[in-house]
Amino acid sequence: MTGNIVIIVVVSQDQRLHSPMYTFLKHLSFLEIWYTSTIVPLLLATLVSQGQAISFHACIAQLYFFVFFGATECFLLAVMAYDRYLAICSPLHYSFLMRPEICTKLVAISWLTGVGTGFLPSLMISKLDFCGPNQINHFFCDLPPLMQLSCSSVYVTEMVIFILSIAVLCICFILTLVSYVFIVLSVLRIPSASGRMKTFSTCGSHLAVVTIYYGTMISMYVHPSAPLSPDINKIISVFYTVVTPLLNPVIYSLRNKDFKNALRKVMRRNCGIYGVRMKENLFIR
């Protein structure tokens, strides 16, 4: 969480970072704070107390915000990949295609689509009957464990979630991959070997984190007829709720030279406050 706060502060205070790429990064960091706050506090409470009670309405609320923030992140990651594609493959048209008003619209569409995506799964889960055991074999109120707990038919709910997962996860992942394929093809035409390696290093890191995020979520939700075991579900869930939010600040900003220079300026301007705290807390999320 500290890493995301640092990104928001630095991007907001440094005029040189007021570009589309960093605008999207700031929104991603803001989103990650809320995304992890939906899951991690209950996870820590469960680990400390060896079991944590949550009301049904709070469980449905947690499910809604998890789907909402997760879907919004998928759209934002796809938008960020498209932004990098335009910057590298169409540099002459980039300023026109990524005007501030276009960036604002893309961010707004991502958030609004996420808001709408969260409603249907949450509503359908809330309409299921839960008449048996009330213990979820999971560390938060996720879709698969809640459906396994229901004593009514979940076929329609499973199919709706399956279709929604394909519409959000698979399409966003494909769009992201296509953007990176064009980026790679463009990078291969760079005459400088050092330039190619630098760009490949950055894009490779981005693609690795994106693949982990999308891959684990797709394996979790795009399998209506073959549910995974609870233990495997927990392991997979850790990747898209903890691991990728932890890696995003490091991959997207702290390996970026411009951001590191801006960070030093902000640290000097604020008497080193952010610099001291960031190094201690970046990996404790």
pLDDT tens across 35-62, in order? 988 887 777 766 666 656 788 898 999 9
How far apart, in Å, are the Cα atoms of 126 and each of 57, 59, 69, 130, 273? 9, 9, 19, 9, 45
Left if phi > 0, otherwise alpha if psi is -120 to 50, otherwise beta: which for 214?
alpha
Cβ atoms of 154 and 216 within 8 Å: the answer is no
Global pTM value: 0.85
Residues 2-281, CATH architecture: Up-down Bundle (1.20)
DSSP symbol at 140: S
How far apart, in Å, are the Cα atoms of 269 and each of 18, 129, 266, 272, 279? 18, 57, 5, 8, 17
Q: What is the pLDDT of residue 222?
A: 84
- Could you count the other beta carbons within 10 Å of the beta carbon of residue 270? 12
Q: What is the pLDDT of residue 284?
A: 30
Q: Which tokens is 136 given? A: 């979820």
* Structural domain spans, the chain: 2-281
Q: Which tokens is 258 given? A: 């411009």
Interacting residues of 75 by C-beta distance below 8 A, sequence separation 6+: 109, 110, 113, 114, 168, 172
Q: What is the pLDDT of residue 225?
A: 55
User: What element of type H or E holds 246?
Assistant: helix 244-249
> How many alpha carbons lie under 13 Å from residue 80 in its C-beta half-sphere?
22
Could you read off the pLDDT tens digit of each residue along the chain, which spans 285 residues?
677 888 888 888 877 778 888 889 899 999 999 998 888 777 776 666 665 678 889 899 999 999 999 999 999 999 999 998 998 888 888 999 999 999 999 999 999 999 999 999 999 999 998 887 778 878 888 888 888 888 888 889 989 999 999 999 999 999 999 999 998 888 888 777 776 776 666 677 778 888 889 998 988 888 755 566 778 888 888 888 888 888 887 777 766 777 777 777 777 776 554 444 434 333 333
Cβ atoms of 203 and 80 within 8 Å: the answer is no
Q: What is the pLDDT of residue 135?
A: 81
Q: Which tokens is 207 given? A: 């693609």
DSSP symbol at 22: H
Cβ atoms of 6 and 274 within 8 Å: the answer is yes
